[in-house]
């Protein structure tokens, strides 16, 4: 009996020593990654946000080409990055609530909100593109739209900008729309589309104001709505300016013509097939700004 007790006393310390010598899992380290998930999810979402900001403003400052920013970074890779960051944020949010220890759930919520807002922005852009005709040239005169100066045309040619198209030519006969699948669109010309989609783009009647007052009103109005390089073209009856979008830095050439007791306006994008309706909106804004100034004369 004593031998058995002694044997037990001898072997028990060895067993305990063997157990003690084996590393035991640390509950803190084992679960720390769960607590860190919301933080990592937030970092990922912020990285995706920076990606989109660079895609939108990189072209504006000449850091990347607009096709890279809008085409690859936003349209192609952007949707994938949104999906990945949203999924990771959702998983982090669930772990923050359902697992122990609970993590900072608000970080996971913010991490999910960022790609969600980016996705809503992409959907809004898509809806806007589908709501307007895919053209980038609008005018208040559909038969004889104002023309640009030789200086502006030379600059557009140097930059490889969109050609200035004839308003009477069907879109299907123009290179930019030749491969379109929209047969109904291809048989229409610019004049048809503008008349149908933007019927409120009408010339401005000068009224009692003189032509000189009209030119002054145009120059002031162009500056007021944010146009750059506003100048009255020497030896002509036109005023020109350049508009630049906040994101991507897309530039559009704007011209106003004073003739026959009225003012006609035109705005044409330098790049892109569709302008998402920006040129029509700009012409409307400029028209209202000019009218306000003529009324005060």
Residue 23 lies in a domain: no
Residue 182 lies in a domain: yes
Residue 62 lies in a domain: yes
State the DSSP H helix or E strand holding residue 137, giving kind and residue range, or none if neither.
strand 137-139
Same-domain pairing of 166 and 221: yes
User: In this model, does residue 280 exceed pLDDT 50?
Assistant: yes
Which range, of 3-12, 150-159, 187-196, averages the lowest pLDDT?
Answer: 3-12
Which range, of 14-18, 174-178, 198-202, 273-277, averages the lowest pLDDT?
Answer: 14-18
- Position 7 scores a pLDDT of 46
Residue 170 lies in a domain: yes
- Position 34 scores a pLDDT of 73
Whether cis (ω within 30° of 0) applies to the bond prior to 145 is no
**Helix residue ranges per DSSP H, 173-226:** 183-186, 190-197, 211-224
Rounded Cα gap, residues 104 and 26, in angstroms:
21
Q: What is the CATH number of the domain that holds 240?
A: 3.30.310.80
Rounded Cα gap, residues 174 and 167, in angstroms:
11
Same-domain pairing of 210 and 257: yes
Last residue of a domain, one of 80, 98, 131: 131
Residue 280 lies in a domain: yes
**Per-residue b/e over 166-181, b at no fewer than 16 CB within 10 Å?**
ebeeebbebeebeeee
Phi and psi for 273 in degrees, rounded to 5?
A: -80, -50
Residue 3 lies in a domain: no
Percent of the chain whose pLDDT exceeds 90: 82
User: In this model, does residue 8 exceed pLDDT 50?
Assistant: no
Same-domain pairing of 174 and 251: yes
Same-domain pairing of 176 and 75: no
Last residue of a domain, one of 131, 165, 199: 131
Neighbours of 215 (CB within 10 A): 18
Mean pLDDT for the stretch of residues 247-274:
97
Give the residues across from 262 on adjacent strands. 205, 259
Mean pLDDT for the stretch of residues 188-192:
97
Same-domain pairing of 66 and 113: yes
Same-domain pairing of 142 and 117: no
Q: Please state the domain count of the chain.
A: 2
Residue 11 lies in a domain: no
Same-domain pairing of 90 and 147: no
Same-domain pairing of 117 and 141: no
Same-domain pairing of 177 and 223: yes
- Position 245 scores a pLDDT of 95
User: Domain of 199?
Assistant: 137-295
* Predicted model pTM: 0.84
Same-domain pairing of 115 and 166: no
Residue 257 lies in a domain: yes
> Which pLDDT band, with edges at 50, 70 and 90, does 101 fall under?
low
Same-domain pairing of 143 and 280: yes
């Amino acid at each position: 009996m004593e031998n058995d007790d002694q044997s037990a006393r001898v072997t028990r310390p060895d067993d305990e020593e063997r157990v003690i010598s084996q590393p035991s899992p640390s509950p803190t380290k084992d679960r720390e990654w769960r607590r860190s998930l919301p933080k990592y999810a937030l970092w990922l979402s912020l990285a995706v946000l920076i990606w989109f900001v660079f895609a939108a403003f990189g072209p504006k400052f000449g850091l990347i080409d607009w096709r890279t920013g809008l085409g690859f970074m936003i349209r192609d890779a952007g949707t994938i990055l949104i999906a990945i960051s949203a999924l990771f944020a959702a998983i982090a949010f669930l772990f923050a609530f359902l697992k122990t220890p609970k993590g900072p759930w608000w970080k996971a919520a913010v991490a999910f909100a960022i790609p969600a807002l980016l996705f809503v922005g992409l959907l809004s852009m898509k809806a806007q593109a589908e709501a307007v005709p895919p053209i980038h040239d609008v005018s208040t005169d559909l038969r004889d739209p104002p023309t640009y100066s030789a200086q502006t045309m030379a600059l557009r040619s140097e930059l490889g900008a969109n050609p200035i198209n004839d308003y009477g030519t069907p879109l299907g006969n123009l290179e930019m729309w030749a491969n379109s699948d929209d047969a109904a669109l291809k048989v229409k010309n610019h004049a048809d589309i503008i008349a149908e989609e933007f019927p409120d783009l009408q010339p401005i009647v000068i009224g009692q104001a003189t032509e000189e007052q009209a030119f002054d009103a145009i120059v002031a109005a162009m500056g007021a709505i944010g146009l750059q390089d506003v100048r009255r073209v020497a030896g002509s009856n036109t005023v020109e300016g350049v508009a630049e979008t906040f994101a991507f830095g897309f530039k559009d050439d704007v011209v106003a013509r004073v003739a026959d007791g009225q003012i006609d306006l035109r705005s044409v994008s330098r790049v892109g097939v569709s302008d998402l309706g920006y040129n029509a909106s700009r012409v409307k804004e400029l028209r209202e700004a000019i009218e306000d100034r003529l009324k005060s004369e």
